[in-house]
Chains A and B, each alone.
Chain A
């Protein structure tokens, strides 16, 4: 592979050759290519092979090949239910993230406050603090005897604690928190690139604020919305820690099921097939979404 690429890399004209003194510089990229080729591309190809192996007792997988794992994953009502739950979780987390994230992204992109840098840290903080720590924070807040229930009871708003976790609500709240930065950051970039004088011009020509937002800012920030929503959706589908910690035994997602099959049940082919079914569903959902929003985009223009 490396021989082919070095043969292609140098430009033909001698002028370009002179301008690029490090022609034999291919060794610079070689470690990265080896790392990703051997430890990312090959393993992903290997997952497909694994999903076609039969399961075995006392070993992670048996000899030979079979389609049985896919038949099992797609024919079992329980697994299909978990798959549907996972997709619904993604489909609810994304719009909430967008509704919470867009105004913050706009504020962050346009603020000239000297606290801007601090606010940026605030947005980044959930991203940089580990997912176990963040979910633990929500555990303290949402548990039966947790901070929120304590405050509500002390204020006399409720008599007994509300069930805020070990259900879909708790998982969704924590997922929104965990993935909100992934919605905000692409949006900040896009909104910053919209010239504020355009908005001022539209306003001075008599457009209402709402109209300026709907006809100008929103269409122009569409690439950021698309990037953020797809990112949050994909991340939600593959989330493992948050559903386990806040969903308890009540909320099962595909990732939880897959890890259970790999680690507890030691059935690698089953887990591999389920992981691939989830990935395929995710990809189809993203593709359909991209098609639909592409059309919507044209409608806006």
Chain B
């Protein structure tokens, strides 16, 4: 890049730097890789090295009613929360980018607020508030509100950034040609910001699917989500069923990540 022949000391420094960075990448991947490996273990326990490859623990997982119910609940909660936060987040982003004037920065901060506050503190605050207002945690309502709150900033920020990349002149052109605001939005703006919406929604889904603190404090009696069930299970049992269910959760995430990468490319993801 700079000169053709680098001195030996530079090359050694380069190699050491690369090795260091590589080691950190391995560190990042290690716990996840080890779980997937363990879920394929043919042996009785979470022992290393695995005693052969088998899918028996996935069989045990599918036979485990508590885990299957928890997966169902998690998918359901994540789906409802994603739909809600996508609708609210897209509308909010449209207002903040296209219509807000002096209040724009304040509104943006407000919609990002759930991300800036510690999740567990928000969960505690919601728990108190739900009881104080008489709603309680008998229904799924409180849990859903918590999940929508936490996932809203992800939808908002991804949609807002794709809106900033369009200047709105196309929508105005459509309007001046006689399209109603709704029609102009559906036929012009929506297709343009679709990648941002898909990214935000998938992200919201993954975050909600994995959310722990909020679910711990706001779940109704007798209800459990996948992360909660796994947490409880690991208190008493330490067998490859837990690895199998973790692998399922990792695969759900992976599908979403690949989907985002295919649609818009991962580098366009926004976190705040």
Binding site for B on A (CB under 8 A): 5, 8-9, 11, 20-23, 25-26, 28-29, 31-33, 35-36, 39-40, 42-44, 46-47, 50, 60, 100-101, 103-104, 107, 117, 119-126, 128-134, 136-141, 143, 145-147, 150-151, 177, 180, 185, 200, 203-204, 209, 234-235, 237-238, 240-241, 245, 255, 258-259, 262-263, 268, 271-272, 275, 279
**Contacting residue for A46 out of B94, B121, B125, B212, CB 8 A:** B125
Measured CB to CB, the closest approach of chain B to A106, in angstroms, equals 8
**Complex: how many Å from CA A200 to CA B269?**
29
Q: Are B100 and A35 in contact (CB under 8 A)?
A: no
**Chain A to chain B contacts (Cβ below 8 Å), 28 pairs:** A23-B99, A29-B92, A29-B100, A29-B107, A31-B87, A32-B92, A32-B111, A35-B145, A35-B148, A39-B149, A40-B149, A44-B125, A103-B24, A120-B267, A128-B210, A128-B257, A130-B212, A130-B226, A131-B210, A133-B210, A134-B31, A137-B34, A150-B49, A151-B48, A200-B2, A235-B118, A258-B124, A262-B124
**Contacting residue for B113 out of A25, A36, A177, A241, CB 8 A:** A36
Write out the residue numbers on chain B whose beta carbons fall within 8 Å of the beta carbon of A240: 120, 212-213, 216
Write out the residue numbers on chain A whose beta carbons fall within 8 Å of the beta carbon of B175: 21
Secondary structure class of chain A's binding surface, majority of residues: helix
Which of A60, A120, A133, A209: most chain B CB closer than 10 A? Answer: A133
Q: Are A32 and B2 in contact (CB under 8 A)?
A: no
Write out the residue numbers on chain A whose beta carbons fall within 8 Å of the beta carbon of B67: none
Write out the residue numbers on chain B whose beta carbons fall within 8 Å of the beta carbon of A121: 257, 261, 266
**Complex: how many Å from CA A131 to CA B271?**
17
Q: Are B34 and A140 in contact (CB under 8 A)?
A: yes
Assess whether B88 is interfacial by the CB under 8 Å rule. yes
Measured CB to CB, the closest approach of chain A to B189, in angstroms, equals 11
Measured CB to CB, the closest approach of chain A to B151, in angstroms, equals 11
Measured CB to CB, the closest approach of chain B to A171, in angstroms, equals 14
Which of A101, A121, A130, A203: most chain B CB closer than 10 A? Answer: A130
Q: Are A140 and B31 in contact (CB under 8 A)?
A: yes
Assess whether B206 is interfacial by the CB under 8 Å rule. yes
**Complex: how many Å from CA A27 to CA B49?**
59
Q: Are A39 and B2 in contact (CB under 8 A)?
A: no
**Contacting residue for B20 out of A8, A103, A117, A141, CB 8 A:** A103
Q: Are A129 and B250 in contact (CB under 8 A)?
A: yes
A16 nearest CB neighbor, chain B only: B101
The A-contacting residues of B in range 148-185, CB under 8 angstroms, are 148-149, 152, 156, 172, 175, 181
Q: Are A125 and B210 in contact (CB under 8 A)?
A: no
B94 nearest CB neighbor, chain A only: A28
Q: Are B120 and A255 in contact (CB under 8 A)?
A: yes
Measured CB to CB, the closest approach of chain B to A207, in angstroms, equals 12
Write out the residue numbers on chain A whose beta carbons fall within 8 Å of the beta carbon of B107: 29, 33
Measured CB to CB, the closest approach of chain A to B219, in angstroms, equals 11
Q: Are B128 and A272 in contact (CB under 8 A)?
A: yes
B171 nearest CB neighbor, chain A only: A21
Q: Are B28 and A180 in contact (CB under 8 A)?
A: yes
Write out the residue numbers on chain B whose beta carbons fall within 8 Å of the beta carbon of A123: 25, 28
